[in-house]
Amino acid sequence: MNIVVVIPTYNEAENVARLIPVLEEEFAQHSNHTFNVLFVDGNSSDKTSEIIKAAETTNPNVFLLQEEKKSGLGSAYIKAFKYALQKFQPDVLVEMDADLQHDPKDVVRLVNEIENGSDYVIGSRFTKGGSIPQNWALYRKFLSVGGNIFTRVVLNIYNIHDFTSGFKASRVKGFVDQINLDQVLSGGFAYKIDLLFRMRKLGAKFKEVPIVFGLRDRGDSKMEKNNVLDSLKVVLLIRFRESQSFLKFLVVGFTGLFVDAATFNISRTVLANSTTASMFSGTLGILTTFILNNYWSFNHKKIHGFSKKLTSFIKYFVTSLIPILVRTKLISWAVFKLGDTFIISNAAFFIGIVFGLVWNYTIYSKIIWRSGSPQNPAAKKL
């Protein structure tokens, strides 16, 4: 696979000088992959960029992206991601610190999990076998552990233990290349939480690989006090964004149901035939939810272009039509057996709706969109 290891630096002269040879040695042992290293330097005031530039001339796989000024970890990564995607067309992007707190030997462990089918691999400090430095100050331990617990609860994600790890591997095709990097929240350390959430929404298969997070023995940590507040803000903003789309999802569902039920009852009296009425109202319901989803709830994912719209509508229509057909069959059987009355036809109608709900939920969340997120455009029709 084609891998780009992105490493942000800010005053890491001593560390990059040690890191580059260790990484190269590691890469040489895994020649089944192509490795490039892209440093993104926040205009360090020490010799960091000189050292990287020197390495650029001797090592063909080392590259430097120089920022004009320090812009924060998140914004450095976003710049580097865009640059790397365009320049290298990689299969995998790795995020890694420059200060050797991340063991260079672990890069291959993360990448191998992508090769084995995961899409987002986290070098995790809080899963069995992982750790943070024992002699970290108590407040730093508390922030790290507490922050992760807070994020788990607020975002309601319980199968991930390390949301802020700085050591990751992400699959590009279908995932990183689907994310609008300009919209990622936070230019600071908290960008990690939003990026993770966006990968999850895309249905990425996650994997946590335990890592021992070492001690920084040279240079200083750039973790700033406002990172805590910033992370808190990002977690709450994501929660808000999600609740909003969940609310919209519910409104769309109920509107669809209302249109379906009202049309069913009006047309069954007009047409005097519950079977035809069910087909007619079901189709109208599908149409309503598709339009509402496309133009309102999932506006940011709006499908453009006539032929794309048509194909996605056909897919949506065909999958949604199945429970409508089943329901219609049930109604026609019930009214044939028990008479075409308001009570009978509506009872069958609502049993059909419950079936449709289970059907759609299963198809959309378990099969089409594995993540099961309510923001998925098709997790719709009741």
Residue 119 interacts, among ligand GDD, Mn ion, none and using kind-specific CB cut-offs from 5 to 8 Å, with none
d(CA 339, CA 268): 13
Q: How far is the CB of 76 from ligand GDD (least distance, A)?
A: 3
- Rank residues 10 and 316 by Cβ distance to ligand GDD and give the closer one: 10
- Rank residues 97 and 113 by Cβ distance to ligand GDD and give the closer one: 97
Residues in 215-244 at the binding interface with ligand GDD, rule: CB under 6 A: 216, 221-223
Q: Which of 182, 176, 184 is nearest to 91 (CA)?
A: 176
Q: How far is the CB of 298 from ligand GDD (least distance, A)?
A: 30
CB 293 within 8 A of CB 380: yes
Residue 260 interacts, among Mn ion, ligand GDD, none and using kind-specific CB cut-offs from 5 to 8 Å, with none
Per-residue x/- mask for Mn ion, residues 128 to 157, rule CB under 5 A?
Answer: ------------------------------
d(CA 169, CA 261): 48
CB 144 within 8 A of CB 164: yes
Residues in 263-322 at the binding interface with ligand GDD, rule: CB under 6 A: none
| 192 contacts: CB under 8 Å, gap ≥ 6 | 74, 163, 164, 165, 166, 168
Residue 245 interacts, among Mn ion, ligand GDD, none and using kind-specific CB cut-offs from 5 to 8 Å, with none
- Rank residues 99 and 208 by Cβ distance to Mn ion and give the closer one: 99
CB 125 within 8 A of CB 101: no
| 340 contacts: CB under 8 Å, gap ≥ 6 | 268, 272, 273, 274
**Tokens (6 digits) for 375:** 């923001």
Residues in 93-132 at the binding interface with ligand GDD, rule: CB under 6 A: 97-99, 101
CB 254 within 8 A of CB 382: yes
- Rank residues 44 and 263 by Cβ distance to ligand GDD and give the closer one: 44
Candidates 4, 5, 8, 376; binder of ligand GDD (CB under 6 A) is: 8
DSSP code, position 45: S
12 forms part of the interface with ligand GDD (CB under 6 A): yes
Residue 76 interacts, among ligand GDD, Mn ion, none and using kind-specific CB cut-offs from 5 to 8 Å, with ligand GDD
Residues in 121-180 at the binding interface with ligand GDD, rule: CB under 6 A: 144, 164, 166
For residue 147, how far is the Cα from the chain centroid? 19
| 208 contacts: CB under 8 Å, gap ≥ 6 | 121, 122, 124, 127, 130, 160, 161, 162
- Rank residues 7 and 204 by Cβ distance to ligand GDD and give the closer one: 7
Residue 285 interacts, among Mn ion, ligand GDD, none and using kind-specific CB cut-offs from 5 to 8 Å, with none
**Tokens (6 digits) for 10:** 């800010």
12 forms part of the interface with Mn ion (CB under 5 A): no
Continuous segment of H or E residues that includes residue 124 = strand 120-124
- Rank residues 37 and 277 by Cβ distance to ligand GDD and give the closer one: 37
**Tokens (6 digits) for 133:** 């430095």
Q: How far is the CB of 66 from ligand GDD (least distance, A)?
A: 9
CB 157 within 8 A of CB 238: no
> How many chain residues interact with ligand GDD (CB under 6 A)?
25
Residues in 81-110 at the binding interface with Mn ion, rule: CB under 5 A: 97, 99, 101
208 forms part of the interface with Mn ion (CB under 5 A): no
150-175: b (≥16 Cβ within 10 Å) or e: ebbeebeeeebbbbbbbbbbbbbeeb
- From 32-40, 118-126, 216-224, 290-298, give the range in contact with Mn ion by CB under 5 A: 216-224
d(CA 20, CA 64): 12
Query: Which residue has 């970890």 as its token pair?
Result: 73
d(CA 280, CA 156): 39
208 forms part of the interface with ligand GDD (CB under 6 A): no
End-to-end Cα spacing for the chain:
43
Residues in 76-95 at the binding interface with ligand GDD, rule: CB under 6 A: 76
For residue 374, how far is the Cα from the chain centroid? 13
Residues in 20-79 at the binding interface with ligand GDD, rule: CB under 6 A: 40-42, 67, 70, 72-73, 76
227 forms part of the interface with Mn ion (CB under 5 A): no
Binding-site ranges for ligand GDD (CB under 6 A):
8-10, 12, 40-42, 67, 70, 72-73, 76, 97-99, 101, 144, 164, 166, 189, 192, 216, 221-223
Binding-site ranges for Mn ion (CB under 5 A):
97, 99, 101, 216
